[in-house]
Amino acid sequence: MLDQGAPPRQRTRTGSASPGLGARLMRRKPVERLVAEGGQGEGGSLRRSLGLWQLTMISIGATLGTGIFVVLGEAVPKAGPAVTLSFVIAGLTALFSALSYAELAGTIPVSGSSYSYAYATMGELVAWVCGWCLLLEYGVSVAAVAVGWGEYLNDLLDGTIGVTIPDALSAPPGDGGIFNLPALIVVLLAMAFLLGGAKESARANTVMVVVKIGALVLFCAIGIQGFRSGNYEHFMPLGMAGVSAAGATLFFSYIGFDAASTAGEEARNAQRDLPRAIMLSLVIVTALYVLVAAVAVGAKPWQRFGDSEAALAQIMREVTGQTFWGTLLAACAVIAIASVVLTVLYGQTRILFAMARDGLVPKVFARVHPKTGTPRVNTVIVSLFCGILAAAIPLGQLADATSIGTLFAFGLVNIAVVVLRRTRPDMPRTFRVPLSPLLPALGLGFCLWMMGSLSAVTWVVFGVWMAAGLVFYFVYGYRRSRLATTEALPSRTT
């Protein structure tokens, strides 16, 4: 019997009841439609110009550099010599999530990364939450890396011409400065490359990746000469809590394979190449991270790591007793960290591109320039926002905010791969997660554990960010969703 006091549900012109709020929030975008819309934007299309080599370099470029060149100095005081174990734990967490990413990237090769995967499996509201986390992850990551770039630039200037940028113009408020000008400059330089096109940006990134790998190999060759086993005598001075806290901070260094998945609509053979690029880059990066961290802690007592973000250059000087090698490493780091800014900024713009195409954010972010095949307006807006953020906020706060957004998004991807296996078991998959659902469940568990290791302040920032995102969705995206619009079309035309 109907409740006589209940208001009648809205009906379409055909007389059928319109979907309720819950149904609208859980509406899923068909995988076939996601793939069919790949590359399409407002006024043009993205160009498919990237192969396996370029995708792998994008993934390594977005990953290798940040955690080892910049955040090592932040993480070692939290874990002591056990920071090597922190890298392993963070890498293991990333590996479980990377397996899920690889399967979904080969199945749904689109630009939205985990946002698009969530849209196809868990519905629009979850997709929005995931996309909003990715905006935090990528935008803040660009800013965090840009801050570290300024540290190495000052180190390079000091070693070459004996001049450094004054603190007032090289540090944000709260760190003794007024405005971090170098951080803003490197973001604007990355913007200039991205405006030229994806293929041109990939070429520049490849050169920078080769330089950074060479620099880290050189560091290991020289740093091992200063290795002192006594630096490892008290391996875990701050306990397992310190190890997990350092691992949570370092985790934001592993978002590179996520950046590769955002190139799905510009890859020549995305279903074949994306899973390979994701797994190959993760193996290379984790091995280098652990090796460099082990050499660094062996060459310098862990208590002395908190005095500079340019820790590797300092170690090179201390081991050799010469300024040349430290200056050379600083020069390589300036190039290396710039590639992280470039590739992560690229990923940020492509996620916004996908969200704008779905109508959840303004259409301006999906506008494609017909000559370059890039979302130019999107790139400029995102770059200016990230540049100002980098110039105004200290590194430590940025790194933790990035980590929590990354971990949340990765957790959703581990759920999405299991859901898609259940709902669409017959879909062709170029890669399959082994031992599913066990490994995705482990990936989700590791993400939740590391999120719990972050500070209360980080959780407050995350909560405020999520609340703002939900307000934006219900005020803007909920009513402008293209999926809702197309679902309503049949009823309006009858």
Q: What is the pLDDT of residue 396?
A: 60
Q: Where are the beta strands (DSSP E) in 56-183?
A: none
What SS3 state is found at 4?
Answer: coil
Q: Region 117-144: what's the mean pLDDT?
A: 86
Q: What is the pLDDT of residue 437?
A: 92
Give kind and range of the element (H or E) at residue 44: strand 44-45
Say if pTM beats, i.e. exceeds, 0.95.
Answer: no
**Closest to 410 (Cα-Cα) out of 111, 101, 182:** 101
What sections of 196-269 are H helices per DSSP? Answer: 198-223, 239-250, 256-261
Given a contact cutoff of 8 angstroms between Cβ atoms, the answer to whether 59 and 277 are in contact is: yes
* 448 has a pLDDT exceeding 60: yes
Q: What is the pLDDT of residue 12?
A: 43
Q: Where are the beta strands (DSSP E) in 182-331?
A: none
Q: How confident is the model at residue 89 (pLDDT cuts 50, 70, 90)?
A: confident
Q: Region 150-159: what's the mean pLDDT?
A: 82
User: pLDDT digits over 258-310, tens only?
Assistant: 778 888 888 888 888 888 888 898 888 888 888 988 999 999 888 888 665 56
Highest mean pLDDT among 62-76, 132-146, 349-363: 349-363
Is the preceding omega at residue 437 within 30 degrees of 0, hence cis? Answer: yes
Q: What mean pLDDT value characterizes the chain?
A: 82
Give kind and range of the element (H or E) at residue 421: helix 395-423
Q: What is the pLDDT of residue 19?
A: 62
**Of 45-54, 72-81, 249-258, 393-402, minimum mean pLDDT range:** 393-402
Give kind and range of the element (H or E) at residue 336: helix 323-357
Q: How confident is the model at residue 397 (pLDDT cuts 50, 70, 90)?
A: low
DSSP class of residue 41?
A: E
* 417 has a pLDDT exceeding 90: yes
Specify the higher pLDDT residue, 483 or 433.
Answer: 433
Encoded tokens for 102: 């690889």
User: How many contiguous H segments (helices) and E segments (strands) does the chain have?
Assistant: 21, 2
CA 437, 86, 391, 185 dihedral sign is negative
